[in-house]
A = this chain, B = another copy of it.
Amino acid sequence: MLALREPSLGPCFGMKGGAAGGGYSQVVPMEEINLHFTGDFHAITAANNTLTALLENFRFYNRGKPEGIKTVLMKRCLDVNDRVLRKIVTGLDTPSNGIPSETGFVITPASEIMALLCMSEGLEELRQRIDDMLLGFTFAGEPFLTRDLGVTGAITALLKDAIQPNLVQTLEGTPAMIHGGPFANIAHGCNSIMATKTALQYGDYVVTEAGFATDLGAEKFFNIKCRKAGLQPAMSVLVATSQALKLSGGADEKTMMLPNDAALSKGVRNLEKHISILKSFKQKVLVVLNRYHFDTAEEIAWLRNWCLEKEVAFAVNDSFRLGGEGALEMAQAVVDICNEPSQPIQHTYELSDDVETKIRKIVTTIYGGTDVVLYKKAKDMIKKIKALGLEHLPVCMAKTQYSFTHNAAISGLDGDFKIDVDDLVISRGAGFIVAVCGEMVRMPGLPKIPQANFIDVVDGKITGVS
């Protein structure tokens, strides 16, 4: 049984297209899943923006009072790729339009409401997490929570149905819980705990995903989601493609489909790093190559051999072209490995570590860097986190997916780097501290020629969404 994330409308109309799988490896009804689906994202967007509107309204009527709001932490959200909404100024033109503020929109999958919905195990926990959200600080220096606004009930009401997991199926009838959709570079990158646990009630084997590579998705999956939910995954599947490996090895984007031994043999150093990250959690690992039609037998053989030498299991997955049949090798490998004895997750850090230590352990154990350097804003936030009694929360790293460092312009595979932490953001409702490393964009942009130009309705059917 599957437990996956819901696709976001934004990328669907942008570069990435839909996120319901591809070829014969898909969940259906694909168009509905990719567009409005059951309205969960819309409900989250509405809840988020109703809360910000109520917050700004309180701020407007209480300015100049110590209990008024000095700092607003919460952002608005929209499920769209719109770069111009990243940084905006609101409240302009006349005083009756509210207090001018610099703020911004994040894409709905990067919102705290998305995160806390995914972290909740029922309506009451959802309400509690909404109640706990840190929306800002008052002039008196006090934290200001949703409960201080008195609208927890109203926001919960908007999410009453969205908290329920959605059941769909693959083209071959495998049941799939698709629920929640946080991104993995900035958010915690996992589908909802409710969906995963529901799937575990019904399936013998439950397959879930953790976005981007192991330094981002897997690290958060183990340290945040599994720890919170008490999950013990039996093993990890590390998915690779020949193109990505060659790209990492220095190949050009235009020729990465062609055989290139030099690039491949250099690129596997990246794979090796990801394997070692998974092993740091005491996970058994299966490397899976998602096969493309242009992959040569020689390349596959080379890779299989490389894994053999490294004593890591390896399988080819050809389900895009062949459906379940193409996944047989991989499935058998998974079953075999699951039958071997497991060790409990070894978390990268303890919840009792202080925040800086948590980050340092992630940097040194997972990213392979030498240390962490906090900027003044981050140092100030650590004091604030301590004062608020939130030091015990796990850390959700917000870091570029293009590097093991905070600087997308270098790779960091050599380990000669420290991680700069510019700022810390408290996601009190979601239950973690976000560590912002370098410049992170929480609202994507569209490419020059977006997918939207190819979407249409033909004879009442939507086309071009895939």
Contacts and interface: CB of A to CB of B under 8 A. Distances in A.
Interface string A437-451: 000000001101010
Interface stretch (A148-156, A229-237, A313-321, A425-433): A148-156
A102 to B, nearest CB: 5
Contact of A63 (B43, B57, B79, B139): B139
B154 A464 contact: yes
A81 interface: yes
B64 A64 contact: yes
Nearest to A52: B82
A308 interface: no
Interface residues of A, number: 88
B89 A450 contact: no
Contact of A97 (B57, B78, B86, B448): B86
Nearest to A378: B409
A89 B93 contact: no
A158 interface: yes
Interface of A: 9, 13, 35-36, 39, 42-43, 45-46, 49-50, 52-54, 56-57, 60-61, 63-66, 68, 70-71, 78-93, 95-102, 123, 127, 138-140, 150-151, 153-154, 156-158, 160-161, 373-376, 379, 407-410, 420, 445-446, 448, 450, 452-457, 460, 462-465
22 contacts: A13-B54, A13-B154, A35-B157, A36-B39, A42-B45, A46-B79, A46-B80, A53-B446, A56-B82, A57-B450, A83-B91, A84-B90, A92-B102, A96-B445, A98-B445, A100-B101, A123-B457, A151-B452, A151-B455, A154-B454, A154-B464, A160-B457
